[in-house]
Amino acid sequence: MQLKVILACGTAAALLTTAAHAAAADPAPPHRKAAHRPAAKSAADARLDAVLAHLDALERSLADERAAREALETRLEHVTAEARSAEAEMAAVKAQDSGVIDTLPAQIATAVDKARPKTDGLYFKGIRITPGGFLEAAAVYREHNLGNDVSTGLNAIPFPQTRAGHLEEYRFTPRQSRVSALVEGQPNRDVLLSMYGEFDFQGAAQSANSNETNSYNPRIRHLYGTIDWKDSGWHLLAGQSFSLVTLNSNGITPRNEVTPLTIDGQYSVGFTWTRQPGVRLTKDLFDKSLWVAVSAENPQTTFSGTVPAGVVNVINNAQGFYAGATNTGAPATQSENHIPDLVAKVAVEQDLDGHHLHAEAYTLARSFYDQLPTFKTDNVTTVSFGGGVIAQVIPGLFDVQLSGLTGHGIGRYGSGQLPDATFSASGQVKPISETIGLVGMTYHATRDLDLWVFGGEEHDDRAAYGAIGYGNAAANNTGCEIQGSTLPCAGNTRLLTELSTGFWRRFYTGPWGQVRVGLQYSYINRDTFTAVGGAPTAHENMLYTSFRYYPF
């Protein structure tokens, strides 16, 4: 800019000098008119004025540039001061607690991992495999010896007559430990294909024992496949899973069943459920607020009472393919059935002022089948009704659930396993009227502590036919309550009740899985029908503890 000013000044000086020399070298002749001289002078003045105007413009530009530079220098000094102040503050914080800054990345990573949904899995050829299950170390104490492992024979509580009724029972067991895998693939945006398998170790061959090596067999709990059409809301399930009568927590979907929080593998008296093969078709409607489903499930019948001579009600498999024995003592037993159990269910999901409510109702149709002594087949069909409710009474703090089933021939669908049917004198199958009910409450005391209590009952009506049947008043109970007595004890159960309470405490939840510790106390009472010798009762006090590690 200074060079431009110098050049401009030089140019102006040169012009002035040239003009002066021109005036001196070429004076106007005497005869030229004076009017021409002002015109020549005006042209020179104009050129001088232009030069001076240019100089003024250059000076103003130089002043503007100087002001901008000074403003920039002032701003730079201000920013530099702020940066030095921030560095000083950071140094002071680091000096106060140098470890905080160093641990921030790890703390942030932990918080993100904790908040992230657990959707991690193994990926292979376009499918996702999600492993699951837990390892359990459980302990079981029973006041009266049942010879059971982690799952209790709720309808087998011994009367005082038996020696087992005067012996206690205690054992450690890992047999409820589970392994599972969910395999999922999505051939297109609309269709989701899944397969799920879950196994525990409560199976037992004839050679299984705990004498020297704890040798028990893996057992199928679930093994099924599903197809979900997302856009249309149709869902198909085929394989072994929880029955459709089992209470769900949200909609009608697999792996969403609500079981009591017991450690006992047989759950609780009053809980309605089975795990069995079947085919199920489900439809969700109105943005998944309404669900309807139908299923055809594996049929089986449990009998009680005297089987009239010549009646065929079970398969007699001489190869021993089925465990147990027939009424004749031959190896076998699988009941005679020719129609699947059929279930139709409706479920509703609603949020009532922030309180989630799940309600469902269903009907169960069963067919009972045997062959009479005359070689004629006998068939009886029953229809029963059930339902359930799960409500968030205080969201995140207190939940309540109710479930029940009433009808004829439904014993195998209750945890207590009361019988489905008995016989008339002529050999006809007579389904037994029964009511099953359960109520449960869970209090989420903290994020890691759940306290729970469940109470349930299973009640049978008399089904007496002449001198036989179930709950017959002519039955003999005279020996039931006499220790070591050899007198008869029919002991037909009229009512099973159970009250259970306990807690689950999560001690660790993080990248390495979850650790839970649980405690359960249960009291079970068994009442019988009044018969010859009275109506004997039996009871059981049980205590369970569980340590579980969920690695996935």
Residue 13 has pLDDT above 60, yes or no: no
Instruction: Look at residue 313 in the predicted model and tell me its pLDDT.
Output: 86
pLDDT in tens, 423-473: 999 999 999 999 999 999 999 999 999 999 999 999 999 999 988 999 999
Residue 532 has pLDDT above 80, yes or no: yes
> Strands 169-173, 127-142: parallel, antiparallel or unpaired by DSSP?
antiparallel
DSSP 3-state assignment of 297? Answer: strand
Query: What confidence category does residue 59 fall into, taking pLDDT thresholds of 50, 70 and 90?
Result: confident
pTM of the model: 0.76
Residue 1 has pLDDT above 70, yes or no: no
In one-letter notation, the amino acid at residue 314 is: V
Residue partners of 243: CB distance under 8 A and separation at least 6: 273, 274, 275, 276, 278, 295, 297, 343, 413
Q: What are phi and psi for residue 246, nearest 5 degrees? A: -70, 135
Instruction: Look at residue 492 in the predicted model and tell me its pLDDT.
Output: 96
> Strands 169-173, 178-185: parallel, antiparallel or unpaired by DSSP?
unpaired
Neighbours of 403 (CB within 10 A): 25
Give the pLDDT mean for 203-223. Answer: 85
pLDDT in tens, 115-159: 555 557 899 988 999 999 999 999 999 999 999 999 999 999 999
Whole-Å CA distances, 407 to 269, 339, 381, 385, 436: 17, 18, 11, 6, 9
Looking at every residue in the chain, the average pLDDT score rounds to: 87
Whole-Å CA distances, 97 to 85, 87, 88, 105: 19, 15, 14, 15
Q: Per-domain residue ranges for the chain?
A: 117-128+142-278+293-319+328-550
Instruction: Look at residue 191 in the predicted model and tell me its pLDDT.
Output: 97
Instruction: Look at residue 384 in the predicted model and tell me its pLDDT.
Output: 98
Torsion on CA atoms 327, 331, 333, 338, rounded to nearest 10: -100
Neighbours of 76 (CB within 10 A): 10
Residue 106 has pLDDT above 90, yes or no: no
Instruction: Look at residue 22 in the predicted model and tell me its pLDDT.
Output: 45
Give the pLDDT mean for 94-113. Answer: 61
CATH (one of 3.10.450, 1.20.120, 2.40.160, 2.60.40) for 117-128+142-278+293-319+328-550 = 2.40.160
pLDDT in tens, 395-417: 999 999 999 999 999 999 999 99
Longest CA span, the chain: 172
